[in-house]
């Protein structure tokens, strides 16, 4: 999508040096647009762990380039296979919840193993990382195409009045390579001239909504209002939300959805008020081995993300302390929304019920995978 | 309760000048303890409107002293009755949702009207304001006494392991004159040696939990953890919350609860996970004329409360901007939790169902009031 009228992806190969990959350092958005070079496994792992990049698809893409860097670095290693394996483990350990990370690393590892010599490994790792990015753009575009009619239908029911869509966290284009997942139907509706208005959940503690989703939507010219995470229930009680769309970090093959902490609360409110609650996802975020969402590991992050907050003060980015010195804080990063609260999943293959049956209708080839 | 081992109330008459009332300016907590003098109607109205004081009972107490100031100021007014009426209206307009404000102003207006001359009006207004404070302390203490057995029971069931209590916003002693409402059972349990641990919802946008409840509990030595507002549902899904206790700004005589925005979401999660959800309230916050919580006016506040946040940076209190310049924000201050999600109300008269029948059993004298 666009930043200042210039088309961007969230990760791309340096136009003048194919050994360098560039990313937007999302920690400084929306106040500063800082572009970083990644050249090493270490830098790729750091970018994921410290959340310069975030969002399941972008984490996967970054890890894929990380494996490409591993092949480049292996040129000076005594044991190539071992070096690449250690790199894969290092990248895998950066974030425990995102299933895409594992998926991208497995794909890269298999691709790299298939190459006979190191030169070929480098080439195939580069191609695989690029393919993962291009495929992600295509997948996200398709998610939008499938989601668009849901918004169109609501728009018609409202005689063209703005469709109010609530989203949580950032499942936007900068969480993917382009388009986003939850935002893809919104961008496509807006581009088609359908009036939409987005309620943007702030998404404490890291404020991905207030910082990133709001920024994305603003740059693209989509009307939106930032709200604190407490507000969505009230809006739904009062008919001010027509639909919710969120992303997911991992969805079980039974339809349980792990996503940013607080998603579950919005799903409860949607259910209580008859508001449809959609989850937009590339099928790579479906965990075909996980039956019960409550077995998904939930990352606990540094309590400083709760006690300190970053913002702009006199044109400088500063962190301020919110809590008393004496107080502890706990920081659970994700929660699991049970399938019963999810109206439907929007995937690149179509829309389906959030259930084993629904998912298998879209992905019949998976039928025996998990049963083995 | 105590600050630095020294007993405090949240509002008190200046020990050396009975025409001056002192308050803690809660805007600077937990970082600075600033005590302000109130001497005029204007200052009392400002203190309520700008939230130097907040919490339904403390708002009522402050407004009551505001009416005392009105009587003092009326000494130089051409029309005493008119001056006092204008002051009452000015104070009434400061915050639209809190029912205590209306209750305290009505009580003062009636008391002042009963006095024959201005000297008597001043005396009765002073006495009435003091009485409102003393009665509030007594009421909150009783709420704690009735709530305490609920915690004791859970403690026994857990063989003395800490009882995990989630609270939202600040219904603590600094929201009342002393003890608090939601916190009163917690203080009494702790003081009795029962192990408790409080999950303190941050409570965006004004962070009354992270700033005030955390500070109160910390000063009193009660174990607690600050969490962002998104976390409570996850904790309840995992058995990490034994009970919720919140306060209320206004409760209908049918048991619908208006409280800080986000309360509804926690009540939904409690209901979904079988966690008891209690609302602690002085009966003055019951609106005997309101049958349906959804008719309670919900205050919308300045969007800057969402887009800017205040905290401590290098020992100075600073505000930082969280959102992009281009983004709007909406700021709804309260929501309504329907009675069906409330396990019980804890009042100064005892515990009752959140229903017309339940409430009328505790307050039989109200039976015909609202039916008139």
Nearest to A108 by CA among A140, A73, A66, A77: A66
CATH number of B2-135: 1.20.120.420
Instruction: Please check the confidence at residue A256 and state whether its pLDDT lies above 90.
Output: yes
Q: What residue spans define the domains of chain A?
A: 2-135, 140-371
Cβ contact, residue pair A327, B269, below 8 Å: no
**How many CB pairs below 8 Å do chains A and B form together?**
221
Q: Around B117, how many Cα atoms within 13 Å sit in the side-chain half-sphere?
A: 1
Instruction: Quick: pLDDT tens for A305-340.
Output: 999 999 999 999 999 999 999 999 999 999 999 999
d(CA A91, CA A59): 10
Joined tokens for residue A269? 């409110």
So what's the pLDDT on residue B284?
84
Q: What is the mean pLDDT of chain A?
A: 95
- Looking at the predicted structure, is the pLDDT value of residue B99 above 80? no
What stretch of H or E contains B106? helix B99-114
What is the C-alpha to C-alpha distance for residues A170 and A202, in angstroms, rounded to an integer?
Answer: 9
Could you read off the pLDDT of A112-154 as tens digits, one per residue? 999 999 999 999 999 999 999 999 999 999 999 999 999 999 9
A190 CB-near residues (< 8 Å, 6+ apart): A196, A220, A221, A222
Q: What would the mean pLDDT of B247-266 be, rounded to a whole number? A: 96
Q: Give which of B174, B164, B177, B150 is closest to B279, Cα–Cα.
A: B150
Q: Is B202 within 8 Å of chain A by CB?
A: yes
**Residue B269, CA distances (Å) to A272, A275, B20, B240 in order:** 11, 17, 45, 12
B297: exposed, middle or buried (C-beta count within 10 Å: 0-12, 13-18, 19+)? exposed
What mean pLDDT do residues A26-32 have?
94
Residue A160 Cα to chain centre, angstroms: 30
Evaluate if residue B167 carries a pLDDT over 50.
yes
How confident is the model over A64-85, as a mean pLDDT? 97
End-to-end CA gap in chain B: 41
pLDDT at B333: 95
Q: Say which residue, B98 or A274, is predicted with more confidence.
A: A274
Of residues B201, B249, B256, B335, which has the active-site annotation? B249
What confidence category does residue A57 fall into, taking pLDDT thresholds of 50, 70 and 90? confident
How confident is the model at residue B4, as a pLDDT? Answer: 83
Q: Is the pLDDT of residue B117 over 50?
A: yes
pLDDT > 70? residue B369: no
CB contact under 8 A, B319 and A335: no
Q: What is the pLDDT of residues B184-225, one digit of tens each?
A: 999 999 999 999 999 999 999 999 999 999 999 999 999 999
Taking 80 as the threshold, does the pLDDT of residue A96 lie above it? no
Q: Are the C-beta atoms of residues A263 and A337 closer than 8 Å to each other?
A: yes
- Give yes or no for A354 touching B (CB within 8 A): no
Interchain CB distance below 8 Å, A313 and B323: no
- What SS3 state is found at A182? coil
| Region A221-230 average pLDDT | 97
Q: How confident is the model at residue B96 (pLDDT cuts 50, 70, 90)?
A: confident
Could you give the CA distance from residue B205 to residue B220 in angstroms, rounded to a whole number? 25
Whether residue A372 is predicted with pLDDT greater than 50 in this model: the reply is no
Confidence of residue A285 (pLDDT cuts 50, 70, 90): confident
Q: By mean pLDDT, which of A280-294, B154-168, B223-237 is the weakest?
A: A280-294
Is there a contact between B230 and A203 if contact means CB atoms under 8 Å apart? Answer: yes
Q: What is the Cα–Cα distance from A105 to B148, expressed in whole angstroms?
A: 54
Please tell me the least confidently modeled range out of A92-101, A196-205, B15-24, B141-150.
A92-101
Nearest to B163 by CA among B271, B240, B276: B240
Q: What would the mean pLDDT of A4-19 be, rounded to a whole number?
A: 94
User: Chain B residue closest to A210 (CA)?
Assistant: B323
- The residue of B273, B313, B322 whose CB has the most chain A CBs within 10 angstroms, and thus the best one to mutate to test that interface, is B322
pLDDT category at B249 given cuts 50, 70, 90 is: confident
pLDDT of residue B175: 93
The Cα B25–Cα B37 span in angstroms is 10
Residues 305-344 of B with CB under 8 A from A: 306-313, 318-324, 326-332, 334-336
pLDDT of residue A191: 95
For residue A248, pLDDT beyond 70: yes
Chain B residues whose CB is inside 8 A of the A316 CB are: none
Please name the residue of chain B whose CA is at the shortest distance from the CA of residue A319.
B313
Catalytic site positions of A: 249
A266 contact residues in B (CB cutoff 8 A): 265
- Quote the percentage of chain A above a pLDDT of 70: 98
- Please report residues of B whose CB lies closer than 8 A to that of A231: 261-262, 330, 332, 335
Q: Do A214 and B324 touch (CB under 8 A)?
A: yes
Residues of A with CB below 8 A from B304's CB?
A: none
Least Cα separation, residue A10 to chain B (angstroms): 19
pLDDT, average across residues A93-112: 90
Q: How far out from the chain centre does Cα A107 lie?
A: 19
Read off the tokens for A158: 């409202």
**What percentage of chain A carries pLDDT values higher than 90?**
91
User: What is the mean predicted confidence (pLDDT) over A146-168?
Assistant: 98
Pick the residue of B29, B201, B323, B339 with the most A CBs within 10 A to test the interface with A by mutation: B323
pLDDT at B98 (0 to 100): 67
Using an 8 Å Cβ cutoff, are A170 and A181 in contact?
no
Secondary structure (DSSP) of A25-72: -GGGTTT---EEEE-SHHHHHHHHHTTSS-SHHHHHHHHHHHHHHHHH
Q: What is the pLDDT of residue B53?
A: 96
Judged by a CB distance cut-off of 8 A, whether residue B229 touches chain A is: yes
Residue A269 has a pLDDT of: 99
Inspect the interface and report whether the beta carbons of A330 and B227 lie closer than 8 Å: yes
pLDDT at A367 exceeding the cut of 80: no
What is the number of H-type helices and E-type strands within chain A?
12, 19
Res. B345: pLDDT tops 50: yes
The token pair at B226 is 């600050």
Residues 279-298 of B with CB under 8 A from A: 294, 298
Query: How far off is chain B from A290, nearest CA to CA, in Å?
Result: 18
Q: What is the pLDDT of residue B372?
A: 45
Predicted confidence at residue B2, as pLDDT, reads 86
Average model confidence (pLDDT) for chain B?
Answer: 95
Give the closest of A261, A318, A329 to B234, CB-based. Answer: A261
Per-residue pLDDT at A370: 53
Q: Which residue of A has its CA nearest to B205?
A: A228
CB atoms within 10 A of CB A81: 12
Q: How confident is the model at residue A77 (pLDDT cuts 50, 70, 90)?
A: very high
Please give the Cα distance from A191 to B55 (Å, whole number).
46
3-state DSSP call for residue B190? Answer: helix
Q: What is the pTM of this model?
A: 0.92
Residue among A268, A310, A318 whose CB faces B233 most closely: A268
**Structure tokens given for A281:** 């996802």
Q: Is residue A221 exposed (0-12), middle (13-18) or buried (19+ Cβ within 10 Å)?
A: exposed
Q: Does B224 touch chain A (CB under 8 A)?
A: yes
Which CATH superfamily hosts domain A140-371?
Translation initiation factor eif-2b; domain 2 (3.40.50.10470)
Averaged pLDDT for residues B343-371: 89
SS3 labels along B227-286: ECCCCHHHHHHCCCCCEEEECCCEEECCCCEEEECCHHHHHHHHHHHCCCEEEECCHHHE
Q: State yes or no: pLDDT of B47 exceeds 80.
A: yes
Output the pLDDT for position B5: 78
């Amino acid at each position: 999508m666009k930043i200042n009228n210039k088309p961007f992806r969230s990760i791309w190969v340096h136009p003048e040096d194919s050994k360098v990959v560039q990313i937007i350092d999302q920690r400084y958005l929306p106040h500063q647009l800082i572009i970083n070079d990644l050249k090493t496994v270490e830098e790729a792992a750091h970018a994921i762990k410290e959340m310069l990049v975030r969002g399941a698809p972008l984490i996967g893409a970054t890890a894929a380039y990380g494996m490409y860097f591993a092949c480049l670095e292996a040129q000076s290693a005594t044991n190539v296979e071992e070096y690449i394996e250690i790199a894969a483990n290092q990248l895998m350990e950066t974030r425990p919840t995102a299933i895409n990370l594992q998926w991208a690393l497995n794909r890269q590892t298999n691709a790299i193993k298939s190459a006979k010599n190191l030169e070929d490994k480098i080439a195939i790792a580069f191609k695989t990382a690029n393919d993962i990015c291009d495929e992600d753009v295509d997948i996200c575009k398709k998610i939008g195409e499938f989601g668009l009619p849901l918004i169109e239908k609501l728009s018609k029911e409202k005689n063209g009045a703005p469709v109010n869509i609530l989203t949580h966290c950032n499942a936007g284009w900068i969480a993917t390579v382009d388009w986003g997942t939850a935002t893809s139907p919104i961008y496509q509706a807006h581009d088609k001239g359908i009036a939409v208005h987005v309620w943007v959940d702030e998404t404490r503690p890291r404020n991905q909504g207030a910082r990133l989703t709001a920024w994305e939507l603003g740059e693209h010219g989509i009307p939106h209002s930032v709200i604190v995470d407490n507000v969505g229930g009230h809006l739904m009680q009062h008919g001010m939300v027509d639909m919710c769309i969120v992303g997911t970090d991992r969805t079980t093959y039974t339809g349980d959805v792990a996503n940013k902490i607080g998603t579950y609360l919005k799903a409860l409110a949607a259910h209580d008020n008859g508001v449809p609650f959609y989850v937009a996802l590339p099928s790579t975020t479906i965990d075909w081995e996980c039956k019960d969402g409550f077995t998904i590991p939930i990352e606990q992050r540094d309590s400083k993300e709760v006690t300190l907050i970053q913002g702009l003060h006199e044109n400088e980015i500063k962190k301020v302390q919110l809590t008393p010195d004496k107080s502890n804080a706990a920081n659970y990063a994700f929660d699991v929304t049970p399938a019963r609260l999810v109206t439907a999943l929007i995937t690149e293959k179509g829309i389906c019920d959030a259930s084993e049956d629904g998912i298998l209708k879209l992905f019949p080839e998976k039928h025996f995978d998990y049963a083995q």
